[in-house]
Every structure is written in structure tokens, then in C-alpha cells.
């Protein structure tokens, strides 16, 4: 009984510590982005005006903008005001559109999540299959083919792949549409490009883990007892190799919440990534700041979740086990 | 892009001599070395090899297919593509190398200082590293460019800012062990000056893992520079860069596919070279990983 | 039957019901599909309303046409009985899309609301101007000093859109409610607007006649390549803002056409930096103007995608001179006489200082890349060296004294909607917001304010001719590298579509080719 209670406390203590680190990281990140702001060239008013394509502003227009965005306040005051708003879920107004930043991001989030989610599933499935094939026939031709394939794919920029798919699959073969508007066929194509591109590195990672565990004791014992190569691979090598691999995948998934700007641009996918690209090109600072904060929180949350899962699955990682 | 390779923190120190020999014996290292040396030589010698000036248009010769005189064809303003690829190599490859060197130096200095300095210095530096590492690299790079504005210099700054923290952490871990290694302790006890201890017993064991890390990261930097330039956030006109060349010519694919395929091939080969070389260096550093 | 109705048709029907209009039978043509680069951010008429004018939702009192003149549009007449008084007479029988009549009080309300809410409207109206209703369909404008630019102001899409001010005031700042409210007078009424597209349906009670199409959609696609592919893949009929660089690819692709249209009112304009560097020397400035090969830029570099500059102003404007000429010999002679002598490599120098210029461009205009490289080569022919520097946020960068530049290349409308005053005021006068190069010419400083209140057309033309002459022969500063032309990519169905003049992309008669 007491053991279970202290184990529960240990997990909670570890999670609280990680949560605290996460909050610190998010606060640090927001401060970092604000500290970079004075390095940005140009008067913010000019940046707002050019973001709105106002070429010939009047004096009143400039004064109104200064007032509306609080640009006359000292820097630290603006940061505190912003932070206070963020805590209440208010990320300020976009310099380009004057719309609340949060609305613009949230509206595009579902499209990005669809793309990232589907591409993640494709990546996991495809790299799992390839790594199993490679590890089953280590050193033989299937392994060599997989290795050569992953090396070339890992070196191919995803935007090159995407351009070729758009030209040949969409325009050439009539699959999907150029102006996706969030339509299904384009989602599958874009997710496939993104997923297959990313699967290359993940295949290499899992293959290395599988080969490592195939050479370890449990696999040797199983082989000595007459287990076939397929059984040794899936029962004795795959489970231990899977955990670190999934951990790495989970963390990188957190980094993808911001969408895939390049692919979203090429496939006209109406996600967060494209929204942020527009913000970048006109330097819409409030949108960039909100995006960075949300992306960091998502990334930290993903790492936290992965840690928590690992703690539950693998008892060696618990604090009391380290003592 | 900006992947953080997993790396055993403690790696044996190895003299740089025999490095080339080791690489040329390694199956993928050999190819990586050949590719990397060729690409590096081409990038350095580019201006002398280029048959035409890279930025001067020749409207009469627009969109020539590959053939004599223009071995890789010409673009929409009649500029020789081979010359532009050679010129672009300096920005794509040179920029990536610059970023890798800067990251390694920053990591080396920050990591070593943290390991050597007082406890509070270590704590402050490593907390800062933690914060930066909690930011996904790509997002941080976007934030820097978003605030400073697009441009080649800003892009390089963004990539350095996005990637230095991991290197610093590895450097600190290695230096931390090296400072407390028996050899370093003995040297201090027999009165060797501190700077010589650092030079001979701390820096070398830190250097090797950073070299592997830098080489493995190079591919990511090349891909990042071309991706950001493709989006118009990096190298600005009229300068050539492989990603920017791809972006400029994408609507010409149906009439001039060579304008898309040649820069794509250049990026692919460069990233491949960096990956092969990095893998080989990692294998050489960890003998048990040589399978 | 119901099941086979498309979403668009449903929307159209719903909008027609909402607007209280009978559902029109449009079985002749499918709706028009346009792809454009810029998103319409909101239904806010004061900030984003000008887009509505371009796509056939909103209309203006006057229209600026290809002949370079202003013609009555919602007005039947605009008269200037005395220099400080204008009388506007509205056409009879015009209604807003929501059915309310467009009479003098309604137009006055629209004008007053614009002045109260829109900065560009407020800035366009001179101090002391008074608008008053003087008849059921008549408004009178009185001003303390003559206001010769009024016809241009009434034709400018950013100033007075004619809208139902009462309906606009009713929504407060909740602009989304203006969708389907029929606040404008154009042939197509907005029925939907989101991040990706705007949809509009025909307004059957349109005053000129029944619109030729059942409706239209405008999709916002920032990526130029995607816009072209959308037309190629038959997902759009018309793609706006195509890059000129795409022309060879489009020409080689069956089923799509790169159509070039009429002269615009602006082009890529050069501004010379007189504060520092070699352009402080007037001889170098004159030599630069004569070294630029305007014909080569238009015909060789852009293959007819841009028009050749023959003066600061587009040739179709009534006050445009035809004073530009390319003369490398004269340029060389000017430089020789001023002491800039050619070295062994042909490049010039004076007292050991090389004659080298920095051409400033900016990334938002990709066409500046081929243009600046061409100008670089042209200047080299007379021994002037040049390098190209790209500045992000060019307007700020040029005003920043620490940035080095000698010739700024900026896309400018020198006479947008036929209005010349705002360009002269803000680019040429000392201390003006866009006087990048520190230009200060005593005669120009006197002529520009005189022009602002000069009602006599003959004297106005005389002033504008004189300014163009000063800028070429005496004290060069601002000059045109080219004049823009309208351009679009279209599919076979719209192969005969000509790019709209002055951004009027859609009229009530726009339809597929017969």
C-alpha cells in the first residue's frame, strides 16, 4: 500500500517539477522574443502601415495607430501589458488586419492539425514497415535498398518533393486540386509528402534501435530456444526499441503544431503555417509573438506528455528508483 | 531541418590525425568524403570555374536548354545556370559552414565556461540553455527572421540562434568530465598552469563530439538555408542561392525543367554528403557503433 | 432537384432571399472564378472597401477611363459653374443592392460617413470644403479655394464608395454582419467572405442592366505559382497579378493565356539620392536618364509585359509630354564634360573616386530583379558602375540616412486615378514624407502648390509640362523606368478577357467569350 502511495507521489513530484520547468521555459521564450524586438529595424508605426499597405498615411492615422497599439508606452510596460493580456487569453491585435491575434490562429488550427496528424500517422506506419524490413534482413539487399532510399529521401528537401507532386500528381494526373480550400484529396497528398519525407530519418532511428536489440541477450536467448527470426524481431527487439523511438517522435510532433509552412504554402493549405508566413513577410509582430508562445507551449506539453507516459511505462525512470 | 542528433555524451578523445584514413576506410564515410571535398572545392573555386557572370542577364539567350555553351541551360533572363549554381554554392554551402562553425565555437566557449566556472555561473548558463532548448529550432528561426526581417545575414543569425544550445549542452557535459579526469587532476597537482590544463586536457575531449555534431548538423543547415530562401526569407535578389533559384524557376517547370532539377540535385547531394560524413564520424567516435 | 443544387447556388438563393430580390434565372454561364494574391481582410468599408470596387460590388460617382479622363458613373453630370463650386447630379433610378434608393441625402450620408471614418477620405478633402443636398438628386460642393482634383477624388476607389451609410452604422464594428446586407450599388452583391474567398451573386436590379453572370468567387491565393496552376487545372478562370517571369511557361501551355492590357497610371519609378554620392552632380543625373534604355526595358527585358516610358507620366494622360530619349553618346559627353573620365576598363572616375551607384530595390516586387540587372548593364555601357541592394521595407530604409543608395527603384502611381497632386506633394516637395533623395527645386516648390488650386485646364497642363521638363533637362530627380500594363492569366473560356483598366476587374458585362 505505502509503496503504491509513495510511487504515486514520486510521479506527481516529477511531473510538478517538469511542469514548473515548462512554465519557466515558456516565460523565458516570451521574454526572449520581446528582447529581440528593439533589434528590429524601423519604427513599429511604419511596420504597421506597410503591413496594411497604407502608402500615404496622414498624421491622424499615425497618431491613432500609436494610441491603438500602445506604442508610446515604454518597452517594459508594453511587455507587462502583453503578458497580462496573454494570461487572460488576449494576444492583442494583428498589425496587418486589426483582428484579434488569437481568433486568426485558432481559426486555422484545425486545418494544420489535420495535416500534421495525418502526416504523422503516415510517417509512423511507413517508417515502422521499412525499419522492420531492414532489420529482418540486416545487411542483405532489402536492408541496403531501405538504407539507400532513406539516405536519398533524408537529403531531399520536402519542398522539392512537394513541387514535383503538385506538377505531376495534381496538374498532370488530376488528383486533388491546386486550390485545396481544405479539401480531402489535397490533404492526403500534402500529408503523404510530409509524412514520407519525415519517415526517412525516423526509419534510420528505428532500424538502429532494432539492430541494437537484436544483438542483445533476450534476443539471443530466444533464438537459442528456437524462435524464428520474425518472432525474435517483433517480440524481443521491437518492444524495447519502440519506446525511445516513440519518445523522439512525440517530441518532434510537439514541434510540428505550428504546421508545415512550406508545404502549406505550396499546397495552398489554409493552416497556421501559411498564416504565419504572411505575418513574417509583413512583420506582423503580435502574430509572430503569439505563434512563438503557442508553439513553445505545445512543444513543452508534448515533451511533458511523453515524459509522463515514459514514467508510467518504464519504472526505472521514476525518482525513487534513482536514489 | 535543425534536427538534434542523439549522441552519446561521453566520447573518447581521438587525435585528428588518422581521421582521413579512418573516413576513407569507412563504407559510407568514403563516399561522403569524396562528395564533400568535391562540393567544397567547387564552392571555393566557383568564381574561377564559372563560364559567365552569374548576375548579368542576356535576354537573347533566355531559357536555352542544356547544350554547348550553356551546359546546364539558362534561366528566364538568359543567365547561365551553371555559373549561378557555382555562385550559389558559396551562399548555400558557405553559409551552412559558417553557421556550423559559429555554433561549434559558441557551444565550445559557453559549455567550457559553464563547466570551468563557479557553480552559479554553471547554473545560470545552463538554465538559459534549457530555455532556448525548449523552443523548437524552426520556430525560433522563424521568430528571429520575423523580427529582424528577411535577408541572408538575418537568416544565418536565426539559424545560429536556433541551434547553439544543444551544442553548448554537449560541450558542457564533455568539459565537465574532462576537468575532473585523472589526467587533468594529476597535471594540476604537478603544477601545470591552468591554461595549459585547459588546452591539453579539457579542449581536445570536447572538440571531437562537437566536430561530429557540427558535421551532422551541416546537412540540416544547408536544407534550412535553401528552404528559407525558397520562401523568400533568406538570400535576396539578384544573388544566386539554390533554394532561391528553385523558387524563381518553379513556374517554368513545364518549359524548362532543368531550372528546377539542377538546384534540387545540388541541395540533395550536399545534404547527402553531410549526412554520410557525419554518420561515419559518429561510427569512428564510438567503436561499438561500427556495425 | 434540390439535391443537385450546388452550395454556391444555395448561397445565391439564400442571398437573394435575404436581399428581398426575386431569384434570377442564370442558366447561361457558370459563375466567374478569380484568383488573386491579396486577401480581403474584412467587410469594413473604410479599410477594405476598395477591393469591392475592383470586383464589381461597390461603385463610385466618377470613373477613370483609358482615355485618361474622368467620366460620370453613378453621376449623370459633374459641373463646375464657378471655380469654388461643383454641382453633382445623380442618375435616376439607382438603388442599393438592398433596394433602398440612391438619392442625394443617401450619397451625402455616405460621403460624411467616409470623412468621419476613413483616413484616406479625410485626407482627400481640403480644409473648409462643404457638401450639401441641393435637390432630390443634386449635391453641391463649395470650397474656399478652387478644388480642381474633385473629379479624380470621386473616381478614387479609396475615397468615396457609395454605400448605405445607415446600414453600415447599424452594425457598429461587427463588420461580418455586412455580408448579405446589400450596402453597395454594384452588379454583384457579397454573399460570403472568409479567409480563403469572397463570394458574390448577381444583383438583378442593377441600374445598367441584368449582370451577365450568376455570380463570382474571388479566391485569395498568395502563391503566384498556385494561381497559375489553378487556371491551368481549370479551378479558376482568371488569375490576377501573374509574375512576368511566368510568361514563357504560360505561352507554351495549351489552354491558358497571358493577356496584356491597357496602360496603367504608374510604373517603376527611379528616385535619385541628392544628399550624398555622385548624384549630387547634376551632370551625372542627366547622364543616367539618357543612359537608361527605355525601349530595351519594355521590349527585351519584359517582352512587352511593361510599356516603354516616354515621360514621367503614362502616354495616355492628357498632360503627358513625350520627352524621354535614350542617348548614350550624349550621356558620355555630359560625363566627360563634368570631369568623369573613363579608365582603361571603360569605367569612369573623378579625382580617383570611381563612378559607382547603388540601386535600391525591395523584395516585395520580384520584377525589380530583372529590371535592376538590366539597368546595371545599361549604365555600364556609358561607364557607370552599379550594384543592386535589396531593402526590406523600402520606404523606411530610404529615409534612413545611414543606408547607402543612389537610385531607388519603387513602384509608384504618379497619377493614380488621374490624380497628380498627391504624388507631387509627397515625393517632390522639401520635407515631404516620401522625398527620399532630398529634392528641393525652387521652381517646382512654387508650381506644385499653384497646381493644387489652379482650375484652368490649360494652365494646369502648362504647369505639369514644365515640371516634366525640369525633371528631364534641368534638375533631374524622379523618373519612370517604364509604365505598368494590366496583365492576367486566363483560360480558354475567358481568352478574350482584357485586364481591367485602373483595377476595374469586373463589370456587369464581364462574361466568357462568345
Q: How far B253 CA sits from the closest chain C CA (Å)? A: 8
Q: Enumerate the residues of chain B whose CB falls inside 8 A of the CB of residue C392.
A: 149-151
Predicted confidence at residue C37, as pLDDT, reads 87
Write out the DSSP string of A5-69. Answer: HHHHHHHHHHHHHHHHHHHHHHHHHHHHHHHHGGGS-S-HHHHHHHHTT-SS--HHHHHHHHHHT
Predicted confidence at residue B163, as pLDDT, reads 87
Nearest to A265 among B127, B231, B268 (CB): B231
Distance CA(C260)–CA(C303), nearest Å, equals 11
Mean pLDDT over the full length of chain A: 81
pLDDT grade for A182, boundaries at 50, 70 and 90: low
Which residues of chain C approach chain A closer than 8 Å at the C-beta? Answer: 35, 41-42, 47, 119-120, 122-123, 195-197, 219, 221-223, 225-226, 229-230, 232-233, 235-236, 364, 393, 395-397, 400, 422, 426, 433-434
Are C245 and B76 inside 8 Å of each other by CB?
yes
Nearest to B252 among C248, C377, C392 (CB): C248
| Percent share of chain A, pLDDT over 70 | 87
Are C388 and B237 inside 8 Å of each other by CB?
yes
User: What parts of chain B have a pLDDT lower than 70?
Assistant: 1-18, 237, 286-291
Q: By the CB < 8 Å criterion, does A167 face chain B?
A: yes
> At C118, phi and psi to the nearest 5?
-105, 125
Predicted confidence at residue B3, as pLDDT, reads 40
B-interface mutation test, from C373, C397, C487, most B Cβ less than 10 A away? C373
Closest listed residue to residue A54, CA positions, set A264, A282, A237, A253: A282
Q: By the CB < 8 Å criterion, does B78 face chain C?
A: no
Distance CA(A47)–CA(A221), nearest Å, equals 68
Distance CA(C168)–CA(A22), nearest Å, equals 47
C-interface mutation test, from A175, A268, A270, A284, most C Cβ less than 10 A away? A268
Are C229 and A41 inside 8 Å of each other by CB?
no
Q: By the CB < 8 Å criterion, does B57 face chain C?
A: yes
Predicted confidence at residue C110, as pLDDT, reads 97
**Going by DSSP bridges, is the β-strand pair C75-82/C70-72 parallel, antiparallel, or unpaired?**
unpaired
Q: By the CB < 8 Å criterion, does A11 face chain B?
A: no
Which residues 162-221 in chain B show a CB within 8 A of chain A? 219
Q: How far B53 CA sits from the closest chain C CA (Å)? A: 12
Instruction: Say which residue, C474 or A269, is predicted with more confidence.
Output: C474
pLDDT grade for A50, boundaries at 50, 70 and 90: low
A-interface mutation test, from C46, C233, C428, most A Cβ less than 10 A away? C233
Give residues with Cβ within 8 angstroms of C235, minimum separation 6: A177, A178, A179, C33
Are C119 and A270 inside 8 Å of each other by CB?
no
Q: Enumerate the residues of chain C whose CB falls inside 8 A of the CB of residue B254.
A: 249, 252-253
Nearest to B147 among A160, A211, A288 (CB): A288
Closest listed residue to residue B277, CA positions, set B104, B37, B97, B89: B37
Closest listed residue to residue C228, CA positions, set B113, B23, A141, B250: B250
Nearest to C249 among B56, B60, B254 (CB): B254
Q: How far A294 CA sits from the closest chain C CA (Å)? A: 21
Are C47 and A98 inside 8 Å of each other by CB?
yes
Assign C450 to helix, strand or coil.
Answer: helix
What number of other Cβ atoms are within 10 A of residue A163's Cβ? 21
Are B238 and C366 inside 8 Å of each other by CB?
no
Nearest to B251 among C249, C301, C363 (CB): C249
Q: Enumerate the residues of chain B whose CB falls inside 8 A of the CB of residue A297.
A: none
Could you tell me if A238 and A281 are in contact, meaning their C-beta atoms sit under 8 angstroms apart? no
Distance CA(A49)–CA(B110), nearest Å, equals 41
Which tens digit of pLDDT belongs to each residue from A275-290?
Answer: 888 887 777 888 888 8
Could you tell me if A244 and A206 are in contact, meaning their C-beta atoms sit under 8 angstroms apart? no
Per-residue pLDDT of chain C (514 residues; tens, 9 = 90+): 333 434 444 444 444 444 444 444 445 799 999 999 888 988 999 988 999 999 999 999 999 998 889 999 999 999 999 999 999 999 999 999 999 999 999 999 999 999 999 888 988 899 999 999 999 999 999 999 999 999 999 999 989 999 999 999 999 889 999 999 999 999 999 999 988 899 999 999 999 999 999 999 999 988 888 899 999 989 999 999 898 878 888 888 889 999 999 888 889 999 999 998 999 999 999 999 999 999 999 998 888 899 999 999 999 999 999 999 999 999 999 999 999 999 998 999 999 899 999 999 987 787 888 899 899 989 999 999 998 887 867 877 888 788 889 999 999 889 988 999 989 999 999 999 889 999 999 999 999 999 999 999 999 999 999 999 999 999 999 999 999 999 999 999 999 999 988 789 999 999 999 7
pLDDT grade for A52, boundaries at 50, 70 and 90: low
Chains that touch B (3 or more CB pairs under 8 A): A, C
Are B6 and A248 inside 8 Å of each other by CB?
yes
Which residues 193-222 in chain A show a CB within 8 A of chain B? 201, 205, 211
SS (HEC) of chain B: CCCCCCCCCCCCCCCCCCHHHHHHHCHHHHHHHHHHHHHHHHHHHHHHHCCCCCCCCCHHHCCCCCECCECCCECCCCCEHHHHHHHHHHHHHHHHHHHHHHHHHHHHHHHHHHHHCCHHHHHHHHHHHHHHHCCCHHHHHHHHHHHHCCCHHHHHHHHHHHHHHHHHHHHHHHHHHHHCCHHHHHHHHCCCCHHHHHHHHHHHHHHHHHHHHHHHHHHHHHHHHHHHHHCCCCCCCCCCCHHHHHHHHHHHCCCCCHHHHHHHHHHHHHHHHHHHHHHHHHHHHCHHHCC
Amino acid at each position: 500500500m505505502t509503496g503504491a502511495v509513495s510511487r504515486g507521489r514520486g510521479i506527481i513530484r516529477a511531473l510538478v517539477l517538469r511542469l514548473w520547468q515548462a512554465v519557466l521555459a515558456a516565460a523565458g521564450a516570451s521574454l526572449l522574443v520581446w528582447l529581440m524586438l528593439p533589434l528590429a529595424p524601423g519604427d513599429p508605426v511604419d511596420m504597421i502601415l506597410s503591413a496594411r499597405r497604407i502608402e500615404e498615411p496622414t498624421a491622424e492615422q499615425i497618431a491613432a495607430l500609436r494610441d491603438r497599439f500602445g506604442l508610446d508606452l515604454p518597452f517594459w510596460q508594453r511587455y507587462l501589458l502583453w503578458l497580462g493580456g496573454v494570461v487572460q487569453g488576449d494576444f492583442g491585435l494583428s498589425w496587418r488586419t486589426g483582428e484579434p491575434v488569437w481568433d486568426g490562429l485558432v481559426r486555422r488550427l484545425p486545418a494544420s492539425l489535420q495535416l500534421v496528424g495525418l502526416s504523422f500517422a503516415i510517417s509512423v506506419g511507413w517508417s515502422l514497415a521499412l525499419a522492420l524490413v531492414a532489420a529482418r534482413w540486416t545487411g542483405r539487399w532489402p536492408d541496403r535498398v531501405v538504407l539507400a532510399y532513406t539516405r536519398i529521401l533524408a537529403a531531399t528537401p520536402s519542398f522539392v518533393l512537394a513541387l514535383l507532386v503538385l506538377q505531376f500528381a495534381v496538374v498532370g494526373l488530376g488528383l486533388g486540386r491546386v486550390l485545396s480550400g481544405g479539401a480531402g484529396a489535397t490533404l492526403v497528398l500534402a500529408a503523404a509528402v510530409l509524412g514520407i519525407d519525415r519517415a526517412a530519418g525516423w526509419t534510420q532511428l528505428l532500424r538502429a534501435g532494432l539492430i541494437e536489440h537484436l544483438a542483445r541477450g533476450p534476443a539471443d536467448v530466444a533464438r537459442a530456444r528456437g524462435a524464428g527470426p520474425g518472432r525474435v524481431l517483433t517480440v524481443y527487439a521491437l518492444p524495447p526499441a519502440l519506446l525511445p523511438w516513440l519518445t523522439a517522435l512525440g517530441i518532434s510532433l510537439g514541434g510540428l503544431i505550428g504546421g508545415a509552412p512550406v508545404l502549406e504554402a505550396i499546397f495552398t493549405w489554409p493552416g497556421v503555417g501559411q498564416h504565419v508566413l504572411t505575418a513574417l513577410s509583413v512583420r506582423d509582430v503580435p502574430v509572430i509573438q503569439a505563434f512563438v508562445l503557442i508553439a513553445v507551449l505545445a512543444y513543452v506539453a508534448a515533451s511533458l506528455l511523453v515524459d509522463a507516459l515514459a514514467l508510467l511505462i518504464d519504472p526505472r525512470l521514476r525518482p525513487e528508483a534513482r536514489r | 531541418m535543425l534536427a538534434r542528433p542523439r549522441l552519446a555524451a561521453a566520447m573518447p578523445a581521438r587525435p585528428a590525425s588518422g581521421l582521413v584514413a579512418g573516413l576513407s576506410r569507412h563504407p559510407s564515410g568514403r563516399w561522403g568524403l569524396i562528395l564533400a571535398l568535391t562540393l567544397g572545392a567547387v564552392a571555393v573555386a566557383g568564381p574561377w570555374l564559372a563560364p559567365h557572370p552569374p548576375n548579368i542577364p542576356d535576354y537573347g539567350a533566355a531559357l536555352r536548354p542544356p547544350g554547348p555553351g550553356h551546359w546546364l541551360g539558362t534561366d528566364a533572363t538568359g543567365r547561365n545556370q551553371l555559373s549561378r549554381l557555382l555562385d550559389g554554392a558559396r551562399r548555400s554551402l558557405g553559409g551552412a559552414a559558417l553557421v556550423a562553425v559559429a555554433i561549434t565555437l559558441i557551444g565550445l566557449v559557453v559549455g567550457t565556461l559553464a563547466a570551468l566556472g563557479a557553480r552559479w555561473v554553471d547554473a545560470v548558463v545552463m538554465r538559459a540553455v534549457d530555455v532556448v532548448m525548449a523552443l523548437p529550432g524552426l520556430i525560433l528561426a522563424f521568430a528571429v527572421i520575423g523580427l529582424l526581417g528577411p535577408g541572408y545575414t538575418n537568416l544565418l543569425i536565426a539559424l545560429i540562434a536556433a541551434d547553439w544550445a544543444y551544442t553548448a549542452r554537449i560541450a558542457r557535459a564533455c568539459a565537465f568530465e574532462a576537468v575532473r579526469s585523472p589526467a587533468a587532476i594529476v597535471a594540476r597537482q604537478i603544477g601545470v598552469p591552468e591554461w595549459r590544463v585547459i588546452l591539453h586536457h579539457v579542449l581536445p575531449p570536447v572538440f571531437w563530439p562537437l566536430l561530429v555534431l557540427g558535421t551532422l548538423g551541416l546537412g540540416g543547415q544547408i536544407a534550412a538555408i535553401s528552404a528559407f530562401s525558397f520562401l523568400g526569407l533568406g538570400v535576396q535578389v539578384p544573388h544566386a542561392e539554390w533554394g532561391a533559384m528553385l523558387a524563381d524557376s518553379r513556374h517554368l517547370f513545364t518549359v524548362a525543367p532543368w531550372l528546377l532539377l539542377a538546384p534540387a540535385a545540388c541541395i540533395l547531394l550536399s545534404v547527402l554528403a553531410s549526412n554520410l560524413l557525419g554518420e561515419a564520424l559518429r561510427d569512428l567516435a564510438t567503436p561499438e557503433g561500427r556495425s | 432537384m434540390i439535391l443537385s443544387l450546388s452550395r454556391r447556388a444555395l448561397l445565391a438563393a439564400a442571398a437573394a432571399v435575404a436581399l428581398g430580390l426575386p431569384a434570377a434565372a442564370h442558366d447561361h454561364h457558370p459563375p466567374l472564378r478569380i484568383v488573386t494574391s491579396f486577401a480581403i481582410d474584412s467587410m469594413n468599408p473604410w479599410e477594405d472597401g476598395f477591393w469591392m470596387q475592383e470586383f464589381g460590388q461597390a461603385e463610385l460617382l466618377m470613373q477613370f477611363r483609358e482615355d485618361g479622363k474622368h467620366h460620370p458613373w453613378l453621376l449623370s453630370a459633374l459641373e463646375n459653374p464657378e471655380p469654388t463650386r461643383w454641382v453633382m447630379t445623380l442618375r435616376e433610378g439607382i438603388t442599393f443592392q438592398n433596394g433602398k434608393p440612391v438619392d442625394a441625402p443617401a450619397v451625402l450620408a455616405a460621403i460624411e460617413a467616409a470623412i468621419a471614418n476613413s483616413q484616406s477620405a479625410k485626407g482627400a478633402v481640403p480644409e473648409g470644403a462643404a457638401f450639401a443636398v441641393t435637390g432630390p438628386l443634386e449635391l453641391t460642393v463649395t470650397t474656399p479655394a478652387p478644388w480642381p482634383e474633385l473629379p479624380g477624388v470621386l473616381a478614387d476607389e479609396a475615397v468615396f464608395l457609395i454605400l448605405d451609410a445607415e446600414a453600415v452604422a447599424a452594425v457598429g464594428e461587427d463588420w461580418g454582419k455586412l455580408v448579405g446586407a446589400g450596402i453597395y450599388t454594384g452588379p454583384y452583391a457579397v454573399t460570403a467572405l472568409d479567409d480563403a474567398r469572397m463570394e458574390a451573386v448577381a444583383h438583378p436590379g442593377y441600374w445598367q442592366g441584368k449582370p451577365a453572370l450568376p455570380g463570382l468567387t474571388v479566391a485569395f491565393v498568395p502563391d503566384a505559382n498556385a494561381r497559375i496552376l489553378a487556371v491551368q487545372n481549370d479551378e479558376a478562370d482568371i488569375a490576377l497579378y501573374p509574375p512576368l517571369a511566368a510568361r514563357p511557361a504560360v505561352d507554351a501551355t495549351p489552354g491558358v493565356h497571358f493577356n496584356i492590357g491597357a496602360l496603367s497610371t504608374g510604373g517603376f519609378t527611379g528616385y535619385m539620392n541628392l544628399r550624398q554620392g555622385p548624384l549630387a552632380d547634376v551632370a551625372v543625373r542627366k547622364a543616367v536618364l539618357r543612359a537608361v534604355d527605355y525601349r530595351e526595358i519594355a521590349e527585351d527585358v519584359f517582352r512587352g509585359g511593361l510599356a516603354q516610358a516616354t515621360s514621367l507620366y503614362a502616354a495616355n494622360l492628357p498632360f503627358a509630354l513625350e520627352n524621354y530619349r535614350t542617348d548614350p553618346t550624349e550621356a558620355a559627353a555630359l560625363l566627360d564634360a563634368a570631369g568623369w573620365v573613363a579608365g582603361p576598363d571603360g569605367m569612369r572616375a573623378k579625382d580617383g573616386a570611381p563612378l559607382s551607384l547603388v540601386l535600391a530595390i525591395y523584395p516585395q516586387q520580384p520584377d525589380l530583379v530583372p529590371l535592376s540587372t538590366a539597368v546595371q548593364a545599361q549604365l555600364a555601357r556609358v561607364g557607370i558602375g552599379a550594384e543592386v541592394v535589396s531593402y526590406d521595407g523600402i520606404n523606411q530604409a530610404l529615409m534612413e540616412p545611414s543606408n547607402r543608395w543612389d537610385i531607388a527603384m519603387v513602384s509608384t502611381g504618379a497619377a493614380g486615378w488621374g490624380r497628380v497632386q498627391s504624388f507631387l506633394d509627397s515625393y517632390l516637395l522639401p520635407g515631404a514624407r516620401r522625398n527620399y533623395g532630398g529634392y528641393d527645386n525652387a521652381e517646382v516648390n512654387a508650381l506644385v502648390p499653384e497646381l493644387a488650386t489652379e482650375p484652368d485646364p490649360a494652365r494646369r497642363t502648362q504647369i505639369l509640362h514644365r515640371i516634366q521638363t525640369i525633371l528631364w533637362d534641368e534638375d533631374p530627380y524622379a523618373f519612370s523606368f517604364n509604365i505598368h500594363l494590366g496583365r492576367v492569366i486566363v483560360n480558354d473560356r475567358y481568352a478574350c478577357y482584357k485586364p481591367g483598366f485602373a483595377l476595374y476587374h469586373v463589370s456587369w458585362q464581364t462574361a466568357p467569350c462568345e
